[in-house]
Structures are given as C-alpha cells and as structure tokens.
C-alpha cells in the first residue's frame, strides 16, 4: 500500500510538471502564475543567421602548433562572446582540420550587431593626452609632411587651394610659380582636423574617411613625432553625422586590458546628462588597481584617455587619486552597445583577425515548412501506432496509447523547462521515440498473454507480466540511453539535438510504460472484479 502511494505521488508530480510546461504551447491566455518559458526553435525551424569565419594568418608567421593554439583560443573567445550575447542555443563549431569556424544564431534579428561583436579585438588601453606643446609640434610636423608629399595624397587636394579672396600677384612669375606658393602655404592637416565652426581637434563627418586613410598609411605614421600618436574619438550614436574629436596621445599605454578583472554594464542615475544612461564600470586586478592608483595619484590635472580598439571613448581630467581600482567609461552609449563592449572586454581579445567568408540567412518560411512537415510526420506516426495498439491489444492498447501521449507531452515539457532548442533532428528523435515508446508495453502485454494462457488469474498475470518484463525493458532502454549520451557528448549541432530528445524520450518512455501503465492496470483492472482482460 505504501509503495502504491509513493507511486501515485510520483505520477501526480510528473503529470503536474508536464502540464505546467506543456499547456502554454496549446492554450493561450493562461493565468499569470503559469510559466513564461516557451519551447525554443532552432535555426532550421525559426530561421536565423549562419556565419562562417576564417582565422586570418596572412600577416603573421606562426608555426603549425601556434596556429592551432590561436584557432582554439579564437574559438573559445567567440563562444564566450556569443554565449553572453543572449542568443538561445547557438551552434558554434570548428570545421575539422581547418582554420574555419561556423556559427549558427537561431532567431537572430540583428546579424550586423553579432558580426561586429564577433570580429572586435577590444584592445583596452589607458594613455595620457599630449601636452599643448606636443600637440603644436605634431600639427606643424604633419602640415609640413603633407605639404611636401601632397602628390601621394590626391584625396587631400581640396585643402591645398588658396582662398578666393586672396590675390597673388607676381608679374615676373608664371602661373606654376603662383600655384607653388599657395601650395606651400597650405596647412593641410590643420584644416582637415578643424571643424566648419573653426573648432580645432575636430573632424567633420565627410572627412573621416580621409583621416582613416592617413592613419593606415605607414609613411604618414612614420612622420608623427616620436612617442606620440593620433587617434579619433568615439562616434556620437545620437548624431552619427556630427564632427568627431581628434586626440594627440602618448603612444605608450600606462595600463592595458591585461590588468582588467571585470567589466560591468551600469545605468547612471545622476542629475546631469553626463551621469545618466548606460556606462561601463571597469574593475582592475589587484596589481592593476595598485598601478592605476599610482598613475592617477602622480598625474593629477592631466588628461587620461581610455581607448578601445584605437578609438578614444573618453579622456577625463584626473582630479584626484583613484584608490579603489575602478574606472568608468561613459559616452552616449545605448544599452546594447555598452553590453557588447562589456562582453568583448570580459571574453578577451582575439589572438588573430577573423574574416567573415560566408553569411547565410535562413528565412522563417523555410522553418515554417519544416515545422509543418515534422508535425505531420509525428501525427501520422502517432496515429498509426495508436490505431495498431488498439486493434491488436484492445483496451490494454488504449492504456499504452495514453502513456504514449503523456510521453510526447513529457518530452516537450522537459525541453521547455530546460530551455532547450528543438531542431529538425530533434523532431526526428521525438518521432523515433514514438515508435520506441510502445516497445515496452508490447513486451509487457505479451508476457501477460502468456500468463493468461497458462491459466493464471488476471491480477497474477498482470503482476507477473510487469515483473518479468522489467529487466528486459531496462536493459534495452539503458543501452539506448547510453548511446544517446555518447552522441550528445561527442556530437555537434544536429546530432546533439537528436540525442537530447531521444534521451528525454527514453526516460519518459520508461516512466509511462512501467509506472503509469501499471498504475492504470491496478486501478481499472486488478482492483475490480474482472474475469476477463482485453489484451
């Protein structure tokens, strides 16, 4: 009696949990206390983006072992970034024996953001802003260099023209002499990095591409004064066509991302616009915190630029020593943008550049067709099995069919509870489970038939049939479960989806066949005065 109560309690709990996670799929507008979790569909069912990356070693001389280590590191970093990005059940796998990585992002609505996140190097650096004398030296050097080498930079010709209001008169000179004189007086770099409002150290949006070309040119960079560098400020997302700040910085980084312990997204609640909105809070390691404290303590009044990937995000003036090893990066961030940078900082920098060599988008229409085909196959499979069991085993077959329906609902409920992803291979595993789910009942029913033919009572035949079939059922299901677990452990992508649904289906099948069906037999057959069993 006690065992039956425990069994009844187990059945009740399983059925309630199954209903709790399964019903939201088929019943709309459930009460507020019901779960908000829903079954997640894979890339092949709901659409999404597939990206194939290639780790680029064209500009590096690495041994085979170093390349292999770099690919493995890139794989782990990309996986960490995607995991934190928030895409449900992404697939990230390396193409065997190559330097390529495939990423599948089911249901992704913004593939551009994902591509930016994957390819970022996120080199964090803290550098001091140059003094006014060093800035002046830099401007004079770059103006002189461009004046002397303007023939190499034809895209800057507009900055060599003499203003129309000026009249150059040289009765003895030629037209070429006049052009040379105006050309020598041009302050090309100064004009390039001065806004239309006359604000120095700012570049208009229409000229940004020109400056980027200069900052990639080795000859131009060689002529920047020793120990200094030129960098652009962060783009204003609220007004992307506005002018951007230009910074002259010391090339040496005082502290880098290697000293970073953690980066966190925070929302400012201050009274000024500067203190409101999302920002990044950087926390340094113990050694980094000590170094940061010394840097800020010894350079009060200086400006310290915080750079990510050679872009200056903020360059505040150090007002006092910062002893707690924390720094804030602000600057008109959206919450998504701030979150993406935090992900990249925490995941680390890529060991080598990665190039996107293929991008494929799976539309929801294809996924819808796949779902319909899968559901149709499952319905037909269930209908055939249900019909066969009723025809061949009568009322007992109907009990087995009830257990089959519970098993299918159990698979979906468990996957919803675990926030798993259902793919086409997963549906295949579910359909296979439908066929396997009645195997145990077939074995049990045949044992019961044998007992009845031997003249045993209904109760004795049922009890003996279940007990004799138990070992065979457990052996068959446990060996299949072991195979499914091996597939999950060593498989990738679709194989894992198949293994997950198969594993859940096997557990559900054993519960339904051994526990649930036995309880039904005890309740409707053996506990009543039955002299004949429909089996």
Length of the chain: 535
Q: By C-alpha distance, which of 515, 524, 528, 364 is closest to 441?
A: 515
Residue 515 CA, chain-centre distance (Å), reads 41
Q: Domain 48-120+355-360: give its CATH code.
A: 3.30.70.3400
29/19 Cα distance (integer angstroms):
15
- Across 297-323, average pLDDT: 87
- Say which residue the tokens 């500067």 belong to: 274
The SS3 assignment for 34 reads coil
Per-residue exposure over 471-493, b if at least 16 CB sit within 10 Å of its own CB, e if not: eebeebbeebbeebeebbeeeeb
- Confidence class of residue 529 from pLDDT cuts 50, 70 and 90? low
Residue 130 is predicted with a pLDDT of: 95
- Confidence class of residue 181 from pLDDT cuts 50, 70 and 90? very low
The SS3 assignment for 315 reads coil
- Say which residue the tokens 């990095």 belong to: 193
Task: Count CA within 13 A, CB hemisphere, residue 533.
Answer: 28
Beta strands in 251-353 (DSSP E): 255-256, 260-269, 276-284, 304-308, 311-314, 326-329
Task: Count CA within 13 A, CB hemisphere, residue 435.
Answer: 9
- Structure tokens belonging to residue 49: 């983006």
293/364 Cα distance (integer angstroms):
53
Residue 128 is predicted with a pLDDT of: 95
Residue 232 is predicted with a pLDDT of: 93
- Across 373-381, average pLDDT: 80
518/510 Cα distance (integer angstroms):
11
110/534 Cα distance (integer angstroms):
58
- Confidence class of residue 165 from pLDDT cuts 50, 70 and 90? very low
Q: Which residues have C-beta within 8 Å of that of residue 48, sequence separation ≥ 6? A: 104, 105, 106, 107, 108, 361, 362
244/188 Cα distance (integer angstroms):
18
Beta strands in 287-345 (DSSP E): 304-308, 311-314, 326-329
**With contact defined as beta carbons under 8 Å apart, do 225 and 130 qualify?**
no
Give pTM, 2 decimals: 0.53
Residue 164 is predicted with a pLDDT of: 44
Residue 114 has pLDDT above 70, yes or no: yes
Residue 171 is predicted with a pLDDT of: 36
Residues 497-521 have pLDDT tens digits of 788 888 998 998 888 888 888 888 8
Top-confidence residue, 207 or 88: 207
Residue 309 is predicted with a pLDDT of: 74
Lowest mean pLDDT: which of 125-134, 150-159, 184-193, 279-288? Answer: 184-193
Task: Count CA within 13 A, CB hemisphere, residue 152.
Answer: 11
Most confident of 15-19, 85-89, 156-160, 486-490: 15-19
- Nearest 10 degrees: Cα torsion 168, 169, 174, 175: 40
Residue 491 is predicted with a pLDDT of: 74
Q: Which residues have C-beta within 8 Å of that of residue 364, sequence separation ≥ 6? A: 46, 47
Q: How far does the chain reach from its first CA to its final CA, in angstroms?
A: 26
The SS3 assignment for 6 reads helix
Phi then psi for 199, rounded to 5 degrees?
-85, 120
- Structure tokens belonging to residue 526: 């053996």
Residue 179 is predicted with a pLDDT of: 45
Top-confidence residue, 347 or 126: 126
Residue 351 is predicted with a pLDDT of: 73
- Structure tokens belonging to residue 531: 């002299």
Degrees, nearest 5: CA angle 413-49-430:
30
Q: Domain 2-41+364-526: give its CATH code.
A: 1.20.1640.10
- Confidence class of residue 220 from pLDDT cuts 50, 70 and 90? very high
DSSP 154: G
Residue 102 CA, chain-centre distance (Å), reads 13
Please check whether the two domains, 2-41+364-526 and 48-120+355-360, share a CATH topology. no
Top-confidence residue, 138 or 348: 138
Task: Give domain limits for the chain.
Answer: 2-41+364-526, 48-120+355-360, 124-334
Residues 387-423 have pLDDT tens digits of 998 999 888 889 889 988 898 899 989 988 887 777 7
Based on the number of CB atoms within 10 Å of its own CB, is 90 exposed (0-12), middle (13-18) or buried (19 or more)?
buried
331/234 Cα distance (integer angstroms):
8
Residue 374 is predicted with a pLDDT of: 74
In the beta sheet, which residues pair with residue 246?
Answer: 232
What Å distances lie between residue 218 and 139, 221, 223, 224, 347, CA to CA? 17, 5, 9, 10, 31
Based on the number of CB atoms within 10 Å of its own CB, is 144 exposed (0-12), middle (13-18) or buried (19 or more)?
middle
Residue 6 is predicted with a pLDDT of: 86
Residue 349 is predicted with a pLDDT of: 65
212/203 Cα distance (integer angstroms):
11
Phi then psi for 38, rounded to 5 degrees?
-130, 155
């Amino acid at each position: 009696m006690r065992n039956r109560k425990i069994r009844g309690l187990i059945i009740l709990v399983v059925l309630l949990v199954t209903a709790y996670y399964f019903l939201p799929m088929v019943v709309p507008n459930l009460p507020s206390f019901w779960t908000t979790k829903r079954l997640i569909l894979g890339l092949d069912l709901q659409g999404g983006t597939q990206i194939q990356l290639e780790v680029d070693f064209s500009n590096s001389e690495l041994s085979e072992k170093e390349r292999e280590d770099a690919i493995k590191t890139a794989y782990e970093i990309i996986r960490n970034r995607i995991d934190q990005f928030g895409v449900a059940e992404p697939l990230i796998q390396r193409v065997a024996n190559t330097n390529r990585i495939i990423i599948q992002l089911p249901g992704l609505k913004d593939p551009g953001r994902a591509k930016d996140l994957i390819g970022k190097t996120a080199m964090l650096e803290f550098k001091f802003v140059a003094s006014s004398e060093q800035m002046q030296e830099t401007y004079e050097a770059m103006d002189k260099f461009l004046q002397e080498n303007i023939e190499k930079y034809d895209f800057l010709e507009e900055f060599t023209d003499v203003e129309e209001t000026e009249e150059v008169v040289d009765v003895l000179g030629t037209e070429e002499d006049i052009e040379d004189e105006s050309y020598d007086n041009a302050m090309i770099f100064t004009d390039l990095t001065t806004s239309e409002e006359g604000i120095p150290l700012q570049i208009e949006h229409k000229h940004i591409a020109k400056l980027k070309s200069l900052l990639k040119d080795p000859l131009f960079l060689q002529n920047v004064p020793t120990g200094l560098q030129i960098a652009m400020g962060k783009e204003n997302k609220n007004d992307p066509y506005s002018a951007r700040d230009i910074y002259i910085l010391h090339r040496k980084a005082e502290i880098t991302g290697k000293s970073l312990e953690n980066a966190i997204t925070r929302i400012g609640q201050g009274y000024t616009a500067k203190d409101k909105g999302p920002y990044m809070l950087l926390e340094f390691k113990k050694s980094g915190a000590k170094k940061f404290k010394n840097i800020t303590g010894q350079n009060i009044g200086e400006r310290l630029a915080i750079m990510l990937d050679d872009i200056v995000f903020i360059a505040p003036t150090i007002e006092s020593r910062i002893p707690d090893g924390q720094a804030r990066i602000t600057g008109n961030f959206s919450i998504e943008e701030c979150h993406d940078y935090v992900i990249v900082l925490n995941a680390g920098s890529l060991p080598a550049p990665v190039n996107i060599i293929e991008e494929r988008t799976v539309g929801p229409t294809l996924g819808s067709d796949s779902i319909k085909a899968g559901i149709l196959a499952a319905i037909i499979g269930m209908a055939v099995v249900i019909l066969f069991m009723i025809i061949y085993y009568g009322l007992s077959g109907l009990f087995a069919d009830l257990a089959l329906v519970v098993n299918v609902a159990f698979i979906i409920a468990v996957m919803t509870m675990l926030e798993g992803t259902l793919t086409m291979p997963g549906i295949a595993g579910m359909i296979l489970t439908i066929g396997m789910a009645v195997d145990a009942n077939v074995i049990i029913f045949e044992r019961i038939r044998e007992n009845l033919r031997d003249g045993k009572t209904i109760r004795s035949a049922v009890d003996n049939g279940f007990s004799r079939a138990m070992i065979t059922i457990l052996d068959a299901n446990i060996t299949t479960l072991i195979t499914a677990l091996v597939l999950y452990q060593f498989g990738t992508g679709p194989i894992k989806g198949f293994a997950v649904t198969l594993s859940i289906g096997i557990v559900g099948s054993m519960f339904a066949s051994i526990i649930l069906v036995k309880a039904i037999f005890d309740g409707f057959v053996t506990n009543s005065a039955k002299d004949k069993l429909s089996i």
